[in-house]
Structure 1
Amino acid sequence: MFIHLGGEKIIRASELVAIFDLSIEKSSKISKQFVTYASKEKRVEVIGEEESKSLVVTQTKVYYSPISSMTLKKRAHQLLTN
């Protein structure tokens, strides 16, 4: 199964680790360090040109998605319950 993250980006549901609201980057020192490290390792990808609303963590990358974290969580939940 696949999850659409916005733009033309689709990931395998099995690769998904976590979905966060983008505000976590500002409110959590640890998450900010995590994203900084991922960026240095060139494992960060911004999807599309719209303003990012959520942070999607997979086994290999961190994505800035223009889709809200609630919408992405609903999509992931639908895949897991089917």
Structure 2
Amino acid sequence: MFLHIGGEYTVLEKSIIGIFDFDASTHTDSSTIELLQKADKEQLLEYVSPDIPRSFVLTEDRIYVSPVSAATLKLRLSDRYGIHNMIEENEEV
């Protein structure tokens, strides 16, 4: 199955390592900023849209910056699989 992450982008769900809130992750953790900068240098960072970034999706081979909130992306997954409890207990999927 695929997860629509905004624009014309979908990612294979089983390749997703985590879904993160962009502001919360970059405001408090300099290692996250370093990770995103390194991925950008290595051309592994892909912006889904020119809109304001709200989340980023870490996959096995890329990082996608999305205008769709992390909460919405997680909800799309939970609606499909009925995993509301798992998402509430863990910050990332």
TM-score above 0.5: yes
Could you list the per-position Cα deviations for residues 14-70 of structure 1 after superposition, in whole angstroms to 9, with x for gaps in the alignment? Answer: 110111111111210111111111111100011122111111111111111010110
The corresponding residue for 1:6 is: 6
What number of residue pairs does the alignment pair up? 82
Q: Percent identity?
A: 29
| Match in the other structure for 1:59 | 60
User: What is the letter of the counterpart of residue 6 of structure 1?
Assistant: G
CA distance in 2, matches of 1:15, 1:49: 24
Larger Rg, first or second structure (1 or 2): 2
Runs of 4+ deviating beyond 6 Å: none
Q: Look up the SS of the partner of 2:11 in the other structure.
A: strand
Residue 29 (str. 1) matches residue 48 (str. 2):
no
Q: Indicate the RMSD between aligned Cα atoms, in angstroms.
A: 1.4
Alpha-carbon deviation of 1:75? 1.2
- Structure 2: gaps spanning 5 or more residues: 84-93
Aligned to 2:15: 15
Q: In structure 1, how many angstroms separate the alpha carbons of the residues matched to 2:80 and 2:36?
A: 26
Please report the TM-score for the alignment, with normalisation by the length of structure 1.
Answer: 0.90
